[in-house]
Amino acid sequence: MNTESSQSIRTGVQFAGEALLPGGSNIVNGNFLKGGIYAVVGLAAKAMFGLPGLLIVSANSFSDAVTGHNIFETLREEPRTHSKDSKS
């Protein structure tokens, strides 16, 4: 199995972890403290704001686990451009 394929599988498992519990993607990465914090905040957001609150916290957790940045930093980044010499 090549590296790109294994990374895709790992990202899929992280996404499934978020579907089960907010912070699940961080737990899959082995960051139990951050995953636990996201779980508590996500469940509190669900209690206070319903499903939208839970989805926002889960999206932030997933973004943090996959990119290392929270969702606001990820959305603020400039898109990457490919040079003319690189092959897509």
* pLDDT given at position 1: 58
Question: Model confidence over 25-82: pLDDT tens digits?
Answer: 999 889 999 999 999 999 999 999 999 999 999 999 998 988 888 888 878 877 766 6
Average confidence (pLDDT) over 8-23: 86
One-letter amino acid for residue 79 of the chain: P
Please, where are the H alpha helices in 1-88?
3-20, 24-28, 32-49, 51-67, 71-76
Structure confidence at residue 87 (pLDDT): 53
Task: Quote the pTM value.
Answer: 0.75
Query: What span, in angstroms and rounded, lies between the C-alpha atoms of 53 and 68?
Result: 21
Whether the per-residue pLDDT at 14 is higher than 80: the answer is yes
Extract the tokens encoding 9.
Answer: 């599988």
